[in-house]
């Protein structure tokens, strides 16, 4: 233990005596560790973001969308009211709610002199929960709005801000598609980077699906959101719906039926791959830093051949010399690791402040980084240290 | 104390073989002060390295305090160098970036002495060689004579039985040289065996016995007729 401590002290003295060189060398490791920490942190952050998003939506959801990746020449089929009914009938037990939606043509919505062009979606009650959205004010669409095709709209916070500013819009009349609509509710801001069907960074306006069908002269649906009573049933129900669609439109039907659970699994694989790739890039930077350590340690050993001879002559064992140089390499790497982790935190803070991305730097990640730094020091310091330890004392003493 | 029998040393450099020592026989008793003399290339430094356990013989036997050195491994040799032998070199061989105190402490680090005790003993040793007030100086801030005295303090710090001095005055002026020789004589009087390698007759006359080398062989081994004794 005493010798370990002495080794560390000697290592520190030597590093201190060669300040500039030490700093430049450990910078290499610092950049390696720093980029590994921040890149992996970014990967973890992305993964966590996706999980959070799914938690807010609920995992037991199935989406039926027209296949946008269809080969050319195939006809894009709309979902009919009959489809909706047969899905509801076949899967009656497991399904909680079916929320259909269609999109309206791009149009201006006006209030007095203010105007804007949001995405217009016609939908039904339950949409809010499925999207994980909350009301800031008023109410959302009801069955009564749908059955009578009422001319009412729900705005999201961006549209509301644009048209009304600080005024409470509930009860006010807006103009859309040349008709007057009454505002019944406002949806509050949601911070999110992914979504299902709605553009969270854009502007959205919602009205009863029946009302929009009339305006668009369109009697079918673009797609359905289906909530299932339990997670266990999503897979069976998703298969049943697929079967239903195949029966009606043929096996190569133009619909995508998938559950959030499946989507989550797919995304997990994707984010896992992304994280691994990011980690690999960091790893390459770390490798370069490690080679820098080895290089400088070889130089240090060559410069100190005489010192090695002196130490051996007065009683240093080969292991003492080995340990001395390995300690130096590891100390360099640990200092680099500390600096790099600091870098990583700084980058994380910067990214959090200036972009929607988030960095997740866990104690585990920091611990791994330090473990890696030590490993790099051991690995790349071993050969130079071994060279030093193996030197013949007389030749080392005579070396000028 | 030291018994060398039929000792050969052959250096191999590729296919070239150079024999530096031919069947050397030599015995040195505890407490002796022996000078080894000879022109350069005569094998005196080679023998010195073998006696100091820095190198191994090719053939023959070297027994140190009854132990056959040829049978020891590298670690055991390092331990002997650390505890039983003190080296003094012509070029001092101090660590240039360490202070006088740190240099003197170094053998104790490898002997596993604790820091506090180390400090104290090293300080004491520096005082004994008259450098108590110079402990914080680095070698380049000291004169040649002072540097050699630091080296002597370092050689003595683990209380060795033997001091090996390889041309200890070679890089010094005559005044400093005399001071160093006086210290060595004092050490010898305290019972330490001193083996001195030199090619300077005057320096050799400080010893009790002179062993002369030529071409890897001992050509004479006799007591010093008129011994120089330095007084304080």
A315–B154 CB contact, under 8 Å: no
Interface predicted TM-score (ipTM): 0.94
Out of A126-135, A191-200, A272-281, B64-73, which region has the weakest mean confidence (pLDDT)? A191-200
In the prediction, which pLDDT does B51 show? Answer: 95
Task: Classify each residue of A65-104 as buried b or exposed e, where b means 16 or more C-beta atoms within 10 Å of its C-beta.
Answer: bbeeebeeeeeebebeeebbebbeeebeebbebbbbbbbb
Range of the domain at B150: 94-159
**B chain contacts of residue A318, beta-carbon cutoff 8 Å:** 74-75, 78
Q: Distance (Å) from the C-alpha of residue B210 to the closest C-alpha of chain A? A: 25
Asked whether residue A195 carries a pLDDT value surpassing 60, the answer given is: no
In the prediction, which pLDDT does A2 show? Answer: 66
∠ CA A256-A223-A214, nearest 5°, is 155
* pLDDT tens-place string over residues A62-93: 888 876 555 555 556 778 888 888 888 877 77
Rounded to the nearest angstrom, the gap between the alpha carbon of residue B223 and the centroid of all alpha carbons in its chain is 20
- CA–CA gap between residue A382 and residue B17 (Å, rounded): 34
A6 touches chain B (CB under 8 A): yes
* Count of domains observed in chain B: 1
In the prediction, which pLDDT does A68 show? Answer: 59
In the prediction, which pLDDT does B104 show? Answer: 96
Confidence of residue A338 (pLDDT cuts 50, 70, 90): very high
Is position B69 within any domain? no
* Mean pLDDT computed over A192-208: 67
Q: Look at residues A393, A231, A315, A26 and name the one whose alpha carbon lies nearest to residue B108.
A: A315
DSSP 3-state of B211: strand
In the prediction, which pLDDT does B182 show? Answer: 93
Cβ pair A305, A389 in contact under 8 A: no
Higher pLDDT, B13 or A144: A144
Asked whether residue A58 carries a pLDDT value surpassing 70, the answer given is: no
Confidence of residue A153 (pLDDT cuts 50, 70, 90): very high
Confidence of residue A205 (pLDDT cuts 50, 70, 90): very high
* A99 φ/ψ angles, rounded to the nearest 5 degrees: -115, 110
**A chain contacts of residue B52, beta-carbon cutoff 8 Å:** 313
Token pair in block for residue B50:
């073998």
* pLDDT tens-place string over residues A236-247: 888 888 888 888
In the prediction, which pLDDT does A218 show? Answer: 86
* Mean pLDDT computed over B109-133: 92
In the prediction, which pLDDT does A305 show? Answer: 94
Arithmetic mean of pLDDT over chain A? 85
Is position B178 within any domain? no
B118 touches chain A (CB under 8 A): no
* Mean pLDDT computed over A383-396: 93
* Mean pLDDT computed over A314-327: 92
In the prediction, which pLDDT does A71 show? Answer: 56
Cβ pair B176, B143 in contact under 8 A: yes
Residue B165 is classified by DSSP as E
A317–B75 CB contact, under 8 Å: yes
- CA–CA gap between residue A101 and residue A125 (Å, rounded): 11
B74–A317 CB contact, under 8 Å: yes
Most confident of A96-105, A126-135, B158-167: B158-167
Q: Look at residues A192, A190, A189 and name the one whose alpha carbon lies nearest to residue A50.
A: A192
Confidence of residue A359 (pLDDT cuts 50, 70, 90): confident
* A46 φ/ψ angles, rounded to the nearest 5 degrees: -60, -45
Token pair in block for residue A89:
């009938």
Is position B114 within any domain? yes
B133 touches chain A (CB under 8 A): no
> Do you know the residue count of chain B?
232
Cβ pair B208, B224 in contact under 8 A: yes
Q: Distance (Å) from the C-alpha of residue A13 to the closest C-alpha of chain B? A: 9
* pLDDT tens-place string over residues B85-111: 999 999 999 999 899 999 999 999 999
* Mean pLDDT computed over A41-49: 83
* pLDDT tens-place string over residues A253-284: 667 777 877 778 888 888 889 889 988 998 89
């Amino acid at each position: 233990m005493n010798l370990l401590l002495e080794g560390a002290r000697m290592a520190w003295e030597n590093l201190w005596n060669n300040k500039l060189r030490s700093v430049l060398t450990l910078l290499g490791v610092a950049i390696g560790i720093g980029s590994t920490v921040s890149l992996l942190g970014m990967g973890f952050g992305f993964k966590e973001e996706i999980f959070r998003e799914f938690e807010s939506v609920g995992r037991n959801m199935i989406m039926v969308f027209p296949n946008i990746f269809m080969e050319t020449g195939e006809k894009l089929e709309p979902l009919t009211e009959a489809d909706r009914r047969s899905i509801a009938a076949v899967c009656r037990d497991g399904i909680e709610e079916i929320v259909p939606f269609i999109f309206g043509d791009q149009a201006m919505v006006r209030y007095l002199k203010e105007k804007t062009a949001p995405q217009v979606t016609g939908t039904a009650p339950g949409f809010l929960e499925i999207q994980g959205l909350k009301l800031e004010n008023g109410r959302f669409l009801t069955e009564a709005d749908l059955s009578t095709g009422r001319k009412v709209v729900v705005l999201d916070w961006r549209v509301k801000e644009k048209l009304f500013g600080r005024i409470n819009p509930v009860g006010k009349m807006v103009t859309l598609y040349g008709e007057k609509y009454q505002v019944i509710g406002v949806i509050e801001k949601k911070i999110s980077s992914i979504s299902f069907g709605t553009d969270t960074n854009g502007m959205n306006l919602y009205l009863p699906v029946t009302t929009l069908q009339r305006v668009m002269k369109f009697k079918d649906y673009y797609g359905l959101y289906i909530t299932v009573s339990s997670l266990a049933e999503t897979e069976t129900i998703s298969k049943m719906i697929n079967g239903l669609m195949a029966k009606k439109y043929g096996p190569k039907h133009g619909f995508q039926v998938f559950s959030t659970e499946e989507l989550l699994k797919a995304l997990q694989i994707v984010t896992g791959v992304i994280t691994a790739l990011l980690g690999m890039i960091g790893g390459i930077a770390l490798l370069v830093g490690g080679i820098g350590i080895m290089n400088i340690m070889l130089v240090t050993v060559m410069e100190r051949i005489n010192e090695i001879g002196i130490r051996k002559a007065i009683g240093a064992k080969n292991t003492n010399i080995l340990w001395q140089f390995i300690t130096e390499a590891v100390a360099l790497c640990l200092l680099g690791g500390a600096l790099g982790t600091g870098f990583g935190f700084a980058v994380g803070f910067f990214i959090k402040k200036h972009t929607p991305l988030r960095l997740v730097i866990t104690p585990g990640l920091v611990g791994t980084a330090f473990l890696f730094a030590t490993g790099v020091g051991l690995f790349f310091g071993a050969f130079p240290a071994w060279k030093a330890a193996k030197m013949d004392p007389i030749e080392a003493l005579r070396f000028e | 104390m030291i018994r060398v029998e039929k000792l050969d040393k052959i250096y191999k450099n590729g296919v070239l073989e150079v024999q530096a020592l031919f069947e050397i026989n030599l015995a040195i008793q505890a407490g002796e002060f022996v000078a080894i003399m000879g022109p350069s290339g005569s094998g005196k430094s080679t023998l010195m390295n073998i006696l100091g356990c820095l190198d191994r013989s090719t053939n023959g036997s070297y027994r140190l305090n009854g132990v056959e050195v040829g049978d020891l491994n590298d670690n055991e040799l390092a331990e002997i160098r650390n505890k039983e032998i003190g080296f003094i070199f012509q070029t001092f061989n101090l660590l240039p970036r360490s202070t006088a105190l740190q240099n003197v402490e170094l053998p104790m680090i490898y002997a596993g002495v604790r820091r506090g005790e180390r400090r104290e003993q090293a300080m004491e040793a520096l005082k004994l060689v008259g450098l108590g007030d110079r402990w914080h100086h680095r070698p380049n801030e000291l004169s040649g004579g002072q540097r050699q005295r630091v080296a002597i303090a370092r050689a003595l710090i683990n209380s060795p039985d033997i001091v090996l001095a390889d041309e200890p005055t070679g890089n010094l002026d005559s005044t400093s040289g005399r001071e160093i020789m006086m210290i060595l004589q004092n050490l010898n009087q305290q019972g330490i065996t001193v083996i001195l390698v030199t090619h300077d007759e005057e320096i050799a006359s400080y010893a009790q016995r002179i062993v002369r080398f030529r071409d890897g062989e001992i050509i004479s081994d006799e007591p010093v007729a008129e011994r120089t004794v330095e007084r304080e």
